[in-house]
C-alpha cells in the first residue's frame, strides 16, 4: 500500500524547502499527500514533471471540478469561481487577454520611473526614521502596495485595509469560517471599489476594464470584482515577500550586498536567482487531471488532484547545478518556475521583476550600513502563510 504523507511539514532551515520535498524528489518523484482538509493529491516534486504538468491542458485549474485540491481554507471560498486563475481556456484566455496589455514588458518599462519614484520616497522615509525599524512594513510592503494602487487606481489611503485582509486570509492555520470571512471582506471591498468607478470612470486599469469590456458583455461584474481582488492581493504581497527575502540575503551575504550596489549588470540575473532560490509560492499550485495521464513513471487517473511544488522543482539538480547554492552568476537562473509555467504563467511577471530590480539595488545604495537588528534565529519566517517570507524584518544601520 502506498504511504500517504502529510503536506506541508516544517522546515529545518528557513532558506531550504521542507526535507519531505528533497526526499521525494530524490527517491520517488511522485507521492500521495494528505492536505489540510483530509483530501489526498499527487505531489509533483521534480522540475521536468512540474513543467510537464503545468504545460499540459489535460491538467485543469477549474474550481468547478470537485477533484481540484485546495491548499488552504481561504481558497475553498466559492467566490473564487470567477477567478481567472481558477478557470481553464477558453474563458481563462479571454480574461487574460483583457489584462495582459497592462503588464507587457514595454508597458512596465514605461512604468519604471514611477517605481523608481516610489522606491526613492520610501527610502527617504526609511532613513529619516530612528532604527531599529521593520523593513517589511516601512519598505518591502509599502513599495508594491503603492505601485499596484497607482496601476489599478486604488486610493493609497486604503492600502492598510487590503494588506490586513490579504494577510489574514492567507494564514494557513485559520479555521475555514475565519478565512472565508477575511476573503469576503476583501471581495466586498473590491465590489465597492468597482461601484465607485462605475459611477465615475477613471483612467486606470479598473476604469478601462469597466469602459472597454463590461458594456459589450465581454466581462461580467463578478469577474471584474474577482479580477481586481486577485490583482490587488498578488500585486503587493508576493513582491513584498521577495523584497524582504532579497534584502535578508544581501544582509547575510556581503558579496550580494556589494554586487547589488556596484554591479548593475548582474542585477537582473541576481533577481532571477533570488526568485529561484526562495520560491515564495512555497505551497505550490494545484491542478486536477481531466483524463488519465502518465507523469514520469506514474499514471495519474482522471479526477485525481495534483499539487505541483515549485519550491522543489527549483531545487532540482537535474536542472540547476548545485541547486542549494545561492549563485550570483548562475547562468540557468531564468529557467526557474517561480512564476509558474504554461497558460497560467503569472501575468505580473514583468512588474515583479521591475520592482525587484529597482528596489534591491536602491536599498543597497541608499542604506550601505543596513544590517539585522536582531539575531537571525529571532526572525519569524512565515511558514504559516501561503506566501513564504518573514512576518517582520527588524533592521538598523
Overall average pLDDT of the 55-71 stretch: 94
Q: Are strands 305-308 and 40-44 parallel, antiparallel or unpaired?
A: parallel
**182 grid coordinates:** 477575511
Q: Which residue has the higher pLDDT, 79 or 11?
A: 11
**How confident is the model at residue 74, as a pLDDT?**
66
Residue 75 host element (H or E):
none
**How confident is the model at residue 239, as a pLDDT?**
95
**193 grid coordinates:** 471599489
DSSP 299: E
pLDDT for 1 beyond 90: no
- In 64-149, where do the E strands start and end? 133-134
> What CA–CA distance (Å, rounded) separates 133 from 373?
8
**How confident is the model at residue 27, as a pLDDT?**
80
Write the CA distances from 36 to 71, 91, 282, 307, integer angstroms.
7, 29, 15, 13
Q: Which residue has the higher pLDDT, 103 or 183?
A: 103
> Could you state, in order of their start, the residue ranges of all structural domains in the chain?
4-396
pLDDT for 110 beyond 60: yes
Terminal Cα-to-Cα distance of the chain (whole angstroms): 56
Write the CA distances from 306 to 29, 67, 231, integer angstroms.
13, 9, 25
In the structure, what pLDDT confidence band is assigned to residue 6 with cuts at 50, 70 and 90?
confident
Phi, psi of 56 (to 5 degrees): -105, 120
In the structure, what pLDDT confidence band is assigned to residue 170 with cuts at 50, 70 and 90?
low
Cβ neighbours around 27 below 10 Å, total: 9
| Percentage of the chain modeled with pLDDT above 90 | 77
**How confident is the model at residue 26, as a pLDDT?**
85
pLDDT for 326 beyond 70: yes
Q: How does the average pLDDT of the chain come out, rounded?
A: 92
Candidates 58, 173, 112, 164; CA nearest to 362 is 112
Contacting residues for 150 by C-beta, under 8 A, at least 6 apart: 114, 118, 204
Candidates 125, 137, 131, 140; CA nearest to 358 is 140
Contact 30, 298 (CB under 8 A): yes
Overall average pLDDT of the 117-135 stretch: 97
Q: Are strands 285-289 and 305-308 parallel, antiparallel or unpaired?
A: antiparallel
> What CA–CA distance (Å, rounded) separates 27 from 46?
11
Candidates 90, 88, 66, 89; CA nearest to 78 is 66
Per-residue pLDDT reduced to its tens digit, 236-264: 889 999 999 999 999 999 999 999 999 99
Overall fold of domain 4-396: Cytochrome p450 (1.10.630)
> What CA–CA distance (Å, rounded) separates 185 from 188?
5
**314 grid coordinates:** 527549483
pLDDT for 176 beyond 80: no
Write the CA distances from 237 to 142, 166, 169, integer angstroms.
10, 8, 12
The SS3 call for residue 334 is: helix
Write the CA distances from 129 to 248, 320, 394, integer angstroms.
19, 41, 13
In the structure, what pLDDT confidence band is assigned to residue 157 with cuts at 50, 70 and 90?
confident
**How confident is the model at residue 228, as a pLDDT?**
94
In the structure, what pLDDT confidence band is assigned to residue 171 with cuts at 50, 70 and 90?
low
Per-residue pLDDT reduced to its tens digit, 337-365: 999 999 999 999 999 999 999 999 999 99
Contact 247, 140 (CB under 8 A): yes
Amino acid at each position: 500500500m502506498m504511504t500517504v504523507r502529510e503536506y506541508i511539514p516544517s522546515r529545518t532551515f528557513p532558506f531550504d524547502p521542507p526535507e519531505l520535498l528533497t526526499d521525494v524528489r530524490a527517491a520517488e518523484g511522485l507521492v500521495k499527500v494528505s492536505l489540510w482538509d483530509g483530501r489526498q493529491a499527487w505531489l509533483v516534486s521534480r522540475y521536468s514533471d512540474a513543467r510537464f504538468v503545468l504545460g499540459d491542458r489535460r491538467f485543469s485549474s477549474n474550481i468547478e471540478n470537485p477533484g481540484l485540491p485546495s491548499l488552504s481554507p481561504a481558497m475553498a471560498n466559492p467566490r473564487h469561481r470567477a477567478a481567472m486563475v481558477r478557470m481553464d481556456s477558453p474563458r481563462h484566455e479571454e480574461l487574460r487577454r483583457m489584462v495582459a496589455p497592462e503588464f507587457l514588458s514595454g508597458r512596465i518599462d514605461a512604468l519604471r520611473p514611477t517605481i523608481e519614484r516610489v522606491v526613492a520616497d520610501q527610502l527617504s522615509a526609511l532613513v529619516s526614521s530612528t532604527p531599529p525599524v521593520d523593513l517589511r512594513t516601512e519598505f518591502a510592503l509599502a513599495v508594491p502596495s503603492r505601485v499596484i494602487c497607482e496601476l489599478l487606481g486604488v486610493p493609497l489611503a486604503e492600502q492598510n485595509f487590503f494588506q490586513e485582509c490579504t494577510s489574514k486570509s492567507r494564514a494557513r492555520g485559520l479555521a475555514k469560517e475565519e478565512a472565508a470571512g477575511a476573503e469576503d471582506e476583501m471581495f466586498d471591498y473590491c465590489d465597492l471599489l468597482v461601484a465607485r468607478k462605475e459611477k465615475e470612470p477613471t483612467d486606470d486599469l479598473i476604469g478601462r476594464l469597466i469602459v472597454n469590456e463590461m458594456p459589450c458583455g465581454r466581462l461580467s461584474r463578478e469577474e471584474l470584482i474577482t479580477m481586481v481582488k486577485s490583482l490587488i492581493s498578488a500585486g503587493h504581497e508576493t513582491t513584498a515577500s521577495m523584497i524582504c527575502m532579497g534584502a535578508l540575503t544581501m544582509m547575510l551575504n556581503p558579496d550580494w550586498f556589494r554586487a547589488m550596489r556596484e554591479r548593475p549588470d548582474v542585477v537582473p540575473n541576481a533577481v532571477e536567482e533570488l526568485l529561484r532560490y526562495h520560491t515564495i509560492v512555497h505551497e505550490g499550485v494545484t491542478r486536477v487531471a481531466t483524463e488519465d495521464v502518465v507523469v514520469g513513471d506514474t499514471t495519474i487517473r482522471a479526477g485525481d488532484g495534483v499539487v505541483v511544488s515549485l519550491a522543489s522543482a527549483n531545487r532540482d539538480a537535474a536542472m540547476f547545478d548545485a541547486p542549494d547554492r545561492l549563485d550570483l552568476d548562475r547562468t540557468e537562473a531564468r529557467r526557474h518556475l517561480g512564476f509558474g509555467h504554461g497558460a497560467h504563467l503569472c501575468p505580473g511577471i514583468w512588474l515583479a521583476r521591475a520592482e525587484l530590480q529597482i528596489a534591491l539595488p536602491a536599498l543597497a545604495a541608499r542604506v550601505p550600513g543596513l544590517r539585522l537588528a536582531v539575531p537571525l534565529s529571532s526572525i519569524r519566517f512565515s511558514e504559516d502563510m501561503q506566501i513564504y517570507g518573514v512576518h517582520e524584518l527588524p533592521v538598523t544601520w
